[in-house]
Structure 1
Amino acid sequence: MDQLAPLTSAVAAARAMWGGAAVDSLAPAVLIQLNERLAEAQRLLDASRARIASEIARQSRPELGADSLAKQQGYRNPTALIASVSGSTPGDASRLVKVGDATAPRTTLTGEPTPARHPFVADALAAGRIGAGASSAIITLLDKVAFRAGQLAIERAEQMLVEKAPGLAADQFARLITRAEAWLDPDDIAPREDEMRTETTLHLYEDRTGMIVINGKLCPELGAPVKIALEAIVAERLRAQRDASIPDAAALTIPQLQARALSQLAEHALGCTQRDLPLEGATVIVRIDHADLVDGTGYATIDGVAAPVSVATARRMAAGGGIISCVLGADSEILDWGREKRLFTRAQRLALVERDGGCAMCNAPPSHSKAHHLRWWARDAGPTDLSNGVLLCTACHHRIHDNGWDIRIDGTGTRAKVWFIPPARVSSDRSPRLGGRARFDVAVA
């Protein structure tokens, strides 16, 4: 069998698609497909490089002495040889060797072939579904907890991680790996938390220029309230900057916004007589005619604001807490006074957070997300409940409505699954993509 055949085929497909055209002349659809083909080729190349790296390491075993392949080439060990040739670090080379060792076919002492040590990873890597990075992360985790987790749990976890890895960026997959480790080795969570508590520190001092310098690390227990509070304030500031159309050069950076948010929290604490005082400001009332809401024409007004806003803006504003949508009929009678029916309650939002984990599409934190109706409350008589709600950040909300994506909820309650269905121009077969917390669920049966 030609082990390079899949790689050759992927490269040939990319070459045929690209041809000799300039990149800036390619149609958007071709760019997307070409990016996918090249990424697949890279993953297949990873598989070939891992296999070769493993064999170089085998032929460079320390017991071979001067006959070691690496030493014959003038290198002290195989990782030094691989790193020098590829321009990578010894650590990267070592991980490549580890992947190759764990995914290579094995033989018994009697010469009989046996599966690779991690067969699910091996199959996915060889097929180009995952690359060396994801393979290394899975193998490292499974080897780390193998003794305490047991073989059956290791096999289930390996299969689950391989299935979920495609489509996840490196930071997202790292999040999944962290959750998988907690599921496989729950007894290690408490000791790790104890260790993090001992490392929790905060340094605060004034430097020579008069700047107040803050540097520290907080364990999750202490850091979560700080992170959530700052994210909520920063998210609101970002929305304000975006709505005001502030040029990028004039807009505050995230670190600058976080510094101001921290100061705002401190000012609030110093002057507040109620510890449970909410962060939200005054209630905002958005008024819109029912016909305009249904048709998407016309405009809406905001009490206390002279300039009107678009229907799309009114819908987005009405999706969040602290804002009341007042829907008026033909004779200006009130058809709905938003808070009682239109808006998700605090309990419902918390349930959506439990199900979606934040923005169900891009995994932005809950503080950056709002509850939205799948079927519009006024136009489609959509109910305000979990089966008709989803958490989305502002960017993904625009992406869903502007680009023709559909959303499907399978199941009920907080264990339901959210599926995003792309338009035909993105995926010809409109294959659903899993979103929400279920995308990172590691509680395999």
Structure 2
Amino acid sequence: MTDHLAPLAAAVDSARGVWGEQAIESLPPGALMKLMEGLSEAQRLLDAGRARVAAEIARQSRPELGPAGLAKTQGFRNPTALIASVTGSGSGEASRLVKVGEATAPRMTLSGQQKPARHPFVAEALAAGRIGSPAASAIVTMLDRVALRADPTAIAEAERTLVEKAPGLGADQFAKLVTRAEAFLDPAGVTRREDELRADRATHMYEDRHGMLVVNSKFDPEHAAPVKAYIDTYVTAQLAAQRDENAPDAARPTIPQMQADALTLLAAHALGCASSDLPVQGATVVVRIDHADLVNETGYAAIDGLTQPVSVATARRMAGGGGIISCVLGSESEILDWGRRKRLFTEPQKLALVERDGGCAMCGAPPSHTKAHHLRWWARDAGPTDLSNGVLLCESCHHRIHDNGWDIRIAGAGTRAKVWFLPPAHVDAARTPRLGGRARFDYAA
């Protein structure tokens, strides 16, 4: 057996050993998780093999070979069509396999000497089964996009950093990280993209045949931030109110209906200008930027609740408007500690927790979906209402932590501290800490 296939065979054998002849329903939770991990590792290793094969098919089908190329001799117009037919995938998936394979395969010089892959860190992680082809494709595509504008050393460091952070992140979470990395490597690109998005913002309204007003809008990050903050805050308040009501589920509005209600009430308030009728207070947009970037007009800024970074110029413009809080972070973070003088976390403390946790520290849900919770309980453990004893969690993660025996540790002080989640022994016998909070998703080369 070749060295390329040995890891794949080992992963399959491991999964087969867990599953065996048993029915999947009879496996205990620990074995079920081990099986999923084994099958996922096998899938990633299989992805690596398919990418290498796809790249070789493309090489043997290159245009200069004409009718003698592999794809055409097999009856296909190009290698993408051949791969899509064999794999049963679409042309986009086939193209991605070829691109990943070409970026991670060893290169040959004109003299016949072998050189390392164009993206060696991605190639090594892919071959080892630590990342799959979707993550590899996201990294390669982004790095190739900024290659002509970013420093080569920074690109290499970004590749290494992204490969290290990819394991354990879902596709949507990893996409957020790659987006931040691109902004770091090419801040000017953020401004170019913003100009395009700003020019493309639009709202279309029409009445359908039933008399419904249909509103279809798209906003650039600058204009989206206050809209999203208000709607998210309104929906969160409505969901909290529902828990205190006894109305049947069928009579309760859905989340899309609540979002529509939020816009309706906001428009009614603006027309009537009666502040006492505003159903939600405290919807806040926070724009975050490092002091050095603000002074030197370098880097980029971030808006809570939105994935896309914004330029320094946009951050300054937003900070000059009402309802916007600009948070400038220096080299030292301010520590807000209230001890046991207050049981509930104050608004300044909650904003500081947002700076540290970014939203739900466990799953990454936006700040408007979270509440500040004591790590050491106020009543039972005499826990203080301090940043070091608080964490932002959504309702689901809060229950999961308390019900399943997870522990939380805060390393460091202030808004630059890191949140670590310790799984229970039945999930991980070694109880290996898992990084949470903003540090898990923020990119820093």
Tell me if both proteins adopt one fold, taking TM over 0.5 as the criterion: yes
Q: Partners in 2 of 1:26 and 1:426 — Cα distance?
A: 15
CA offset at residue 245 of structure 1?
A: 7.6
Q: Partners in 2 of 1:366 and 1:350 — Cα distance?
A: 9
Alignment map for 1:63-142 (pairs within 5 Å):
63-142=64-143
CA offset at residue 364 of structure 1?
A: 0.5
Give the structure 2 partner of residue 185 of structure 1. 186
Give the structure 2 partner of residue 253 of structure 1. 254
Amino acid at match of 2:411: D
Give the structure 1 partner of residue 404 of structure 2. 403
Amino acid at match of 1:189: V
CA offset at residue 45 of structure 1?
A: 0.3
Q: Partners in 1 of 2:85 and 2:254 — Cα distance?
A: 39
Q: Partners in 1 of 2:245 and 2:429 — Cα distance?
A: 37
Amino acid at match of 1:169: G
Q: Partners in 1 of 2:237 and 2:340 — Cα distance?
A: 20
CA offset at residue 184 of structure 1?
A: 0.7
Q: Partners in 2 of 1:207 and 1:398 — Cα distance?
A: 43
Q: Partners in 1 of 2:173 and 2:36 — Cα distance?
A: 20
Give the structure 2 partner of residue 54 of structure 1. 55
Alignment map for 1:28-427 (pairs within 5 Å):
28-242=29-243, 244=245, 251-274=252-275, 279-280=280-281, 341-427=342-428
Specify whether residues 390 and 215 from structure 1 end up closer, same or farther in structure 2 by C-alpha distance, changes over 3 A only.
Answer: same
Amino acid at match of 1:431: T
Q: Does the Cα contact within 8 Å between 2:269 and 2:278 map onto a contact in 1?
A: no
Q: Partners in 1 of 2:206 and 2:149 — Cα distance?
A: 44
Give the structure 2 partner of residue 331 of structure 1. none
Q: Does the Cα contact within 8 Å between 2:232 and 2:368 map onto a contact in 1?
A: yes
Q: Partners in 2 of 1:38 and 1:250 — Cα distance?
A: 43
Specify the SS of the correspondent of 2:92.
Answer: helix
Specify whether residues 88 and 250 from structure 1 end up closer, same or farther in structure 2 by C-alpha distance, changes over 3 A only.
Answer: farther
CA offset at residue 272 of structure 1?
A: 4.0
Specify the SS of the correspondent of 2:149.
Answer: helix
Q: Partners in 1 of 2:340 and 2:356 — Cα distance?
A: 22
CA offset at residue 373 of structure 1?
A: 1.1
Q: Which moved more, 1:41-50 or 1:12-21?
A: 12-21
Specify the SS of the correspondent of 1:129.
Answer: coil
Specify whether residues 342 and 278 from structure 1 end up closer, same or farther in structure 2 by C-alpha distance, changes over 3 A only.
Answer: farther
Q: Partners in 2 of 1:115 and 1:250 — Cα distance?
A: 63
CA offset at residue 273 of structure 1?
A: 3.4
Amino acid at match of 1:388: N
Q: Which has the larger radius of gyration?
A: 1
Specify whether residues 248 and 53 from structure 1 end up closer, same or farther in structure 2 by C-alpha distance, changes over 3 A only.
Answer: farther
Specify whether residues 57 and 388 from structure 1 end up closer, same or farther in structure 2 by C-alpha distance, changes over 3 A only.
Answer: same
Give a deviation string over 1:83-104, Cα, whole Å, max 9, x none.
0011111111111001001111
CA offset at residue 243 of structure 1?
A: 5.5
Runs of 4+ in 1 over 4 A off after TM superposition: 242-251, 275-278
Specify the SS of the correspondent of 1:147.
Answer: coil
Specify whether residues 439 and 397 from structure 1 end up closer, same or farther in structure 2 by C-alpha distance, changes over 3 A only.
Answer: same
CA offset at residue 131 of structure 1?
A: 0.4
Specify the SS of the correspondent of 1:117.
Answer: coil
Amino acid at match of 2:345: F
Q: Partners in 2 of 1:127 and 1:83 — Cα distance?
A: 25
Q: Partners in 2 of 1:417 and 1:13 — Cα distance?
A: 35
Give a deviation string over 1:141-161, Cα, whole Å, max 9, x none.
000001111110101110111
Give a deviation string over 1:6-46, Cα, whole Å, max 9, x none.
11111111111111222222222211111111111100000
CA offset at residue 196 of structure 1?
A: 1.0
Amino acid at match of 1:132: S
Specify the SS of the correspondent of 1:399.
Answer: helix
Amino acid at match of 2:86: V
Q: TM-score, normalised by structure 2?
A: 0.83
Give the structure 1 partner of residue 4 of structure 2. 3
Specify whether residues 99 and 249 from structure 1 end up closer, same or farther in structure 2 by C-alpha distance, changes over 3 A only.
Answer: farther
Amino acid at match of 2:144: D
Specify whether residues 215 and 124 from structure 1 end up closer, same or farther in structure 2 by C-alpha distance, changes over 3 A only.
Answer: same
Q: Does the Cα contact within 8 Å between 2:269 and 2:275 map onto a contact in 1?
A: no
Unaligned runs of 5+ in 1: 282-337
CA offset at residue 280 of structure 1?
A: 4.5
Give a deviation string over 1:219-240, Cα, whole Å, max 9, x none.
1111111111111111222334
Q: Does the Cα contact within 8 Å between 2:340 and 2:384 map onto a contact in 1?
A: no
CA offset at residue 340 of structure 1?
A: 5.2
Amino acid at match of 1:37: G
CA offset at residue 353 of structure 1?
A: 0.6
Amino acid at match of 1:68: G
Specify the SS of the correspondent of 1:149.
Answer: coil
Give the structure 1 partner of residue 20 of structure 2. 19
CA offset at residue 443 of structure 1?
A: 1.7
CA offset at residue 354 of structure 1?
A: 1.0
Q: Partners in 1 of 2:263 and 2:172 — Cα distance?
A: 26
Q: Partners in 2 of 1:235 and 1:168 — Cα distance?
A: 26
Specify the SS of the correspondent of 2:147.
Answer: helix
Q: Does the Cα contact within 8 Å between 2:47 and 2:132 map onto a contact in 1?
A: yes
Q: Partners in 1 of 2:20 and 2:417 — Cα distance?
A: 45
CA offset at residue 258 of structure 1?
A: 1.1
Q: Which moved more, 1:252-261 or 1:389-398?
A: 252-261
Q: Does the Cα contact within 8 Å between 2:231 and 2:259 map onto a contact in 1?
A: yes
Specify the SS of the correspondent of 1:214.
Answer: strand
CA offset at residue 211 of structure 1?
A: 0.8
Q: Partners in 2 of 1:178 and 1:108 — Cα distance?
A: 33
Specify the SS of the correspondent of 1:443.
Answer: coil
Q: Identical aligned pairs, as a percentage?
A: 69
Q: Partners in 1 of 2:256 and 2:93 — Cα distance?
A: 31
Q: Partners in 2 of 1:31 and 1:433 — Cα distance?
A: 20
Amino acid at match of 1:211: M
Give a deviation string over 1:391-416, Cα, whole Å, max 9, x none.
10011111111111011111122111
Q: TM-score, normalised by structure 1?
A: 0.83
Amino acid at match of 1:25: S
Give the structure 2 partner of residue 324 of structure 1. none
State how many pairs are aligned. Answer: 388
Amino acid at match of 1:252: P
Matching of residue 430 in structure 1 with residue 431 in structure 2:
yes
